A and B are shown apart, each in its own frame.
Chain A
Amino acid sequence: MTIISGKGGTGKTSIAAAFAGLAKNAVFADCDVDAADLHLILKPKIKETIKFSGLKVAAKDSEKCVDCGECREACRFDAIDENFEVSAIDCEGCGVCIYVCPEDALSLVDRESGYAYISETRFGPLSHAKLNVAEETSGKLVTLVRNNARILAKKNNKDLIIIDGPPGIGCPVISSITGVDLVLIVTEPTKSGIHDLKRILGVAGHFNIPSSVCINKCDINTQQSKSIQKYCQINNIPVVGLVPYDTLFTKAMIKGKTVIEFNDGLISDVIKRMWEKVEGMLV
């Protein structure tokens, strides 16, 4: 299952971490490779580090280059500047410049795009990654994290993978949800939350993935909260959790704990009940 939200900052990672503590036999994967935060709560011990190269990048041999400008003209990504140097940030590694260069002065080389990690946590194995900043192809790294999680699950006889997904609806989100059995969308009762929920539900529907919804901070605007529930009811999407606003989430985060570890009270009960429902949907 994948936890996503469309809109950022609705509480995906806090809920994913709490689920990690409740799941009996699961592997965890943090697919928000841009800005991964799950490790701040799960505090993994890294067992294995894998170098990740995403798309390649063009490299120029200045001795061969005659400044003819053919490459600059052919590049669709504005990645060759006025001095005919490659701008690595803009380059998408397509290879067109290499093809058009009459002097054989360009080539495609690997770039160091980031790292994938296999780790152990107090709740079970974790697959995660760190994309270097300003890198392309986070979707490809997401796929690597998911493949690693699958291998971990097989090796350790785990029957579930819980994925903490990225915000948005684009490339890394699609890579995080394709082929999963269930997505849990964490939303909030704000106008932006509802707007973004509808779009992410559209994406899940587009790929035929069953969805469920959790309304976090459900009491900050009860009217909006009700309209989300109504919308979900009309569209046959189960609302599996209504989590009230509570500063416990931030306090637990500061201590590096899941909200359940931090304070086993009312909020914990709500999350435990939500977890039971989600588990039921996965059987």
Chain B
Amino acid sequence: MALLGTIMDVSLGDKLKIAIASGKGGTGKTTVATNLALSLENAQLLDCDVEEPDSHIFLGMRLEKVENVYIPVPKIDKKKCTFCGKCSEFCQYNAIAVVPNDILFFPELCHGCGGCTLICPEDAISEENRVIGIIERGLNNGLEFYHGLLNIGEPMATPLVKAVKAKAEGKKITIIDSPPGTSCPVIESIKDTDYCILVTEPTPFGLYDLKLAVEVVRKLKVPFGVLINQEGIGDKGVEKYCKEENIPIIMKIPHDKKIAKLYSKGIPFVKKMKDWEDKFIELYEKIKNS
């Protein structure tokens, strides 16, 4: 039994957590994430682009809400408050302002650090939860899916990304669809993954933003490779850059009208172009062995 246990552990350790990212938006992250997840058996797909989550559109599954995601914010008891201003002085985010005989709280600026509660000499501040978004779940043919949906008008995306990522259970291959850009929500999506696929388009905008994304993954020390989407649409700048920097190009998806058309209808192209299923399985194997 003990031996069996060890073997099981090893095989569990084989299930990679792969982030799909890009500096520039609209390069095909969701296309890659959904087609890869659908090609693999027993995968989990986490859509961490909580501002504009689109993966579910391609999966055609019924989603159910599983939880609200909160951040803790101060609740001020104005009867106890002496308007001493210590909390507002402490707050690095300018989320509390004290004016003569009143105290104002700006919830959308609060990061939920808990500092004001700690510092209040009158014990006038307790905490309450503020909902910033929800998590939904879906299941279809063995593919388990989660995404976060940031509330409209809500600036704080990162805590929701964190909550979606916590749904990774490790027993399955986990594919993470990241938001575009290079700042906080992107870092949260990529960090502590086993590999990052950087999706780019072969254009000057694609190249410029790819270089930024490369800086991010290098800083986070996550192994990575580049996937060129819409190959043939632009120039050779991306390939030249990857060669100079010794970055592997792990896949190329051609600029193909059929793929674009399927995308516009919300159909993952592996469903209609079956040979791509094998290509995505090969891609996973290649990443695992790298």
Contacts and interface: CB of A to CB of B under 8 A. Distances in A.
A15 B183 CA distance: 24
A56 B92 contact: yes
Nearest to A174: B155
Given A169-B152, A253-B205, A95 B90 contact: yes
B7 interface: no
A159 to B, nearest CB: 29
Contacts of B150: 169-170
A9 B26 contact: yes
A165 to B, nearest CB: 11
A223 to B, nearest CB: 9
Interface in A63-78: 74, 76-77
B187 A134 contact: yes
Contacts of A93: 92
B52 interface: yes
Contacts of B184: 135-138
A238 interface: no
B152 A96 contact: no
A127 B203 CA distance: 24
Contact of A254 (B54, B119, B209, B235): B235
A96 B118 contact: yes
A9 B220 contact: no
Interface string B234-267: 1100000000000000000000000011011110
B240 to A, nearest CB: 13
Interface string B17-45: 00000011111001000000000000000
A31 B113 CA distance: 27
B262 to A, nearest CB: 10
Q: Could you tell me the dominant secondary structure of chain B's interface residues? A: loop
Contacts of B26: 7-10, 167
Nearest to A8: B25
B67 interface: no
Contacts of A231: none
Contact of A99 (B57, B90, B216): B90
Interface string B149-183: 01011111100000000000000000000011111
Contact of A224 (B72, B113, B208, B264): B264
Contacts of A256: 204
Contacts of B215: 133-134
Given A169-B152, A250-B233, A192 B54 contact: yes
Nearest to A75: B113
**A8, A76, A94, A188 — which one has the most chain B CB atoms within 10 A of its CB?**
A8
Contacts of B187: 89, 134
Given A35-B181, A89-B220, A94 B51 contact: no
A171 interface: yes
Contacts of A168: 49, 51-52, 157, 179-181
Given A8-B180, A134-B182, A95 B233 contact: no
B203 A253 contact: yes
B112 interface: yes
Given A74-B118, A89-B219, A167-B180, 15 more contacts: A9-B25, A35-B209, A37-B208, A76-B72, A76-B113, A94-B115, A99-B90, A167-B181, A170-B150, A170-B157, A171-B157, A203-B153, A221-B261, A250-B234, A254-B204
23 contacts: A6-B51, A9-B27, A10-B26, A34-B23, A34-B186, A35-B24, A35-B208, A74-B118, A89-B187, A89-B219, A94-B115, A95-B115, A134-B183, A138-B184, A167-B25, A169-B152, A170-B185, A188-B264, A191-B264, A196-B52, A220-B261, A250-B203, A250-B234
- Shortest beta-carbon contacts, A-B, top 4: A8-B25, A9-B26, A94-B113, A191-B266
Interface of A: 5-10, 13, 34-35, 37, 40, 55-56, 74, 76-77, 89, 92-96, 99-100, 108, 131, 133-139, 166-175, 188-192, 195-196, 199-200, 202-203, 206-207, 220-221, 224, 247, 250, 253-254, 256
